Structure 1
Amino acid sequence: MVRVTITQVAEYAGVSIASASRALNGQIASAETIAKVQHAAATLGYVADATARSLKLGRTHQLAYAVADIGNPVYVEMMTAIERVVSASGYRLVLSSTGTSSSSVDVVRDLGRGYVDGMILSPLRVTDELLAALAKTPTPVVVLGRLPDGTSLDTVRADSVTAMRLVVDHLVAEGRRDIAFVNGPGDTTPGTFRRDGFNTAVTAHPLVSTRSIDADDFTIAAGYAAARRVLDGDRRPDAIVAANDLIGIGAIRAAEDLGLTVPDDIAVTGIDNTELTGVIRPGLTSVDLGADERGRVAAELLLARIAEPSRAAHTVTVAPALVVRGSSLSRARAQGRAPHHETDSTELDEERAAG
């Protein structure tokens, strides 16, 4: 199919090429000219050359969202929130999977090619090489995650320390006294902060026994394998705190395959409160880290940075909230509660006060 050119549109409309270009690009033109050109473009089936227009205007009207694992539901939730904000401002969102830390560096370096006007990056690992690439890029970047103090970039953070305190306090209140923490890779940013948060949380409960193990990844399969190692040991815990929901789901499956009942024999909790937590049975207790809110804030920060490149860097921390489901209740509470009942931390506190 032969592409219709702006020259043909101008000829059909009976105007100059310059007038046709102004009319099609929203620049100053008479109402009569705009009507003629739009009619000509529709009749001929003209489609604007996005590349040429981007070069002319100095904008691509595309933004990138780069994450380690595009299959992880928490990233999908953030992506949905980001797309909702940027599309309302006329931008198209481009998705990129980074995987390893070196891939994150490559993605940032590629920003110099000018294929997007800005990027929201959620790196799994923050290395010196990545920080150097971020410092050099001329393209606005907002980071979902934590960067070293003094880094002059817009960031949106989860509060893993408070998240771990919420879930550990909940398990102890439910009568659990031997808690295993199943983390993801400990050299990652989420792995580091969730491990530190767990270690801080358990110091408030000196009578509780704890142990930690790292899974090979933040996935169901890796969580299953790590949980099997914990549950097959000589001393079986009565609770597992998983570093994310996928690991938590893997832990529930591992417990079932070993003939254990959740939550009677072992309680399991996750982090992120993704949609999967309400699909499995029993429902998975999880800490909501505000994925939707983090995505929304990151998108707004990026648009603000594009509009005002010299503005001061902002760091926003989104507060977590515990969502209690059947996977972590004590035996007595699990038996007395309707199956799959879902509650949040506020309702749970009210129940305890009343009882």
Structure 2
Amino acid sequence: MAGRENVTLKDIAGAVGKSVATVSKALHDREDIAPETRQYIKRVAMEMGYNPNVIARRLQKQRAEALGLIFPLLSARQADPFFAELLAGIADAAAERNFDLLVSSRAPGPAEETLYRRMVGERRVDGLIVAHPRTDDWRLDFLAAEHIPFVAVGPYTPELDAPGVWVDTAAGLEQAVAHLAEQERRHLALIPPPPHLRFSRLCRETFSAATEAHGLRGQIAAGIEAFSQKEGYRAAQMLLAGPRPPDAIIACHDLVAMGAMAAAQNEGFEVGNDVAIIGFGDILLAEHAQPPLTTLHQPTYQMGQQAGRMLLDMLAGRPPSPRQVVIKPWLVIRQSSNLALWL
């Protein structure tokens, strides 16, 4: 079928033998049109060269047909692989409903707040994904006050009553402590998340309770400022330089764990033998570390995809059910906690 300019809905309706209303609904993915009919009408429209005026349509509907995501990055050199996987999941969910995804990044602070206010004030997005909720998080309060739909993504904290897709960090830490107890490690240290993140206190409390339950000595390192190898190196160096260094370290993030591994190796410790190290996240680099990193796996792509779908349902007037999805991570055992796996 030859394409031509200025193809209208009426032209397509004549070609497929349907009403203009049916064609319009099909092209807008309305669920009251059968999937096979939608696919047929879209195929014919594409073959005819139909090119809808997206800007006009959005003005008419008074919607941006876009989701927003602002990464809280401190610097380009400290980019978190978690966000890359999360972004892919959200983007795919948005594409399923023909929505765009507006992505930006700002370090937490005044510039970040200005960007949120501009994005919302100019109605550049219809809703936002909020990553890694913080203690006393102004972002959640601001979006709620502006009546902007949002879904949060990150580690679970029971006191946060907001729609979200969460990873159960506490359950993960309990698995890590139990594994180290089975490996007959007796002195465990935790490198906790930065204190401004909401789940930092929960990590400390869970670690202390789990080590006590297993009859182990627990030590919590000084707080880090960011999820980075540099911060992990610094924290582990201080732990291992003490008079009674731990024989196992649990880090709140894989990048932090990799920094801890480098510090241990530079101090003459054999990782997986003298000191066991466990991370959190199971980023792509984890299995290629030397030695490969034992870590708690979280399905970050699926979390992003589910968060995107939840937000799109909210924008369509369908309250998410359930309102909060909590995913339990699972331990992936590699050589950094048991060097005998090399053998």
1:28 maps to a residue whose letter is V
Asked if residue 217 in structure 1 is aligned to residue 209 in structure 2, the reply is no
8 Å Cα contact 1:223-1:246 kept in structure 2: yes
Structure 2 residues not aligned, in runs of 5+:
24-40
**Is the counterpart of residue 136 in structure 1 residue 145 in structure 2?**
yes
Paired with 1:96 and 1:192, the residues of 2 have a C-alpha distance of 28
CA distance in 2 between counterparts of 1:77 and 1:210 reads: 32
Q: Aligned-pair distance for 1:262?
A: 0.6
Distance 1:310 1:271, change over 3 A: closer
Q: Match of 2:30?
A: none
Q: For residues 326 and 209 of structure 2, what CA distance do their matches in structure 1 show?
A: 19
Post-superposition shift, 1:196?
2.4
Residue pair 1:163, 1:320 contacting (<8 A) in 2 also: yes
How far does residue 338 in structure 1 lie from its aligned partner after superposition? 3.6
Residues 203-212 or 222-231, more deviating: 203-212
> 215, 223, 235: which one pairs with 1:226?
235
The range that moved more, 260-269 or 287-296, is: 287-296
Residue 121 of structure 2 aligns with an amino acid whose one-letter code is G
Which residue of 2 is the match for residue 53 of structure 1?
A: 57
Which of 249, 259, 262 pairs up with 2:258? Answer: 249
Cα separation, partners in 2 of 1:27 and 1:118, compared to 1, 3 Å: farther
Q: CA deviation at 1:270?
A: 0.4
Match of 1:301 in 2: 310
1:30–1:244 Cα change, 3 Å? closer
Cα separation, 1, equivalents of 2:22 and 2:326:
49
Structure 1 unaligned segments of length 5 or more: list them: 1-8, 340-355
Equivalent residue for 1:100, pick from 74, 98, 108? 108
Q: Partner residue of 1:284? A: 293
- TM-superposed CA distance for 1:104, in Å, is 5.3
Q: CA deviation at 1:310?
A: 5.9
Q: Deviations over 1:218-237 (max 9, x none)?
A: 11111111111111222211
Greater relative contact order (Cα 8 A, min sep 6): structure 1 or 2? 2
Q: Deviation per CA, 1:68-122, whole angstroms, max 9, x where unpaired?
A: 2382111211221222222122122222224316555444433232111221111
Partner residue of 1:204 out of 213, 218, 228: 213
The 3 A distance-change label for structure 1 pair 104 and 193 is farther
Letter in 1 for 2:149: P
Which residue does the alignment assign to 1:345?
A: none
Over the residues paired in the alignment, what is the CA RMSD in angstroms?
3.4
1:148 offset after TM fit, Å?
Answer: 7.3
- Distance, in Å, in 2 between the alignment partners of 1:142 and 1:207 is 38
Q: Which of 64, 68, 82 is the matching residue for 1:74?
A: 82
Residue identity in the other structure for 1:90 = N
SS in 1 for 2:90: helix
Distance 1:21 1:113, change over 3 A: farther
- Count residues in correspondence: 313
CA distance in 1, matches of 2:63, 2:334: 47
Could you tell me which residue of structure 2 aligns to residue 28 of structure 1? 20
Q: Is the 8 A contact 1:287 1:323 kept in 2?
A: yes
Does the C-alpha gap of structure 1 residues 132 and 327 become closer, same or farther in structure 2, counting only changes over 3 Å? same
Alpha-carbon spacing, 1:244–1:27, altered in 2? closer, same or farther (3 Å): farther
- The 3-state SS of whatever aligns with 1:180 is strand
Larger Rg: 1
State the one-letter code of the partner of 1:158: V
Q: Is the 1:191–1:243 Cα contact (8 Å) retained in structure 2?
A: no
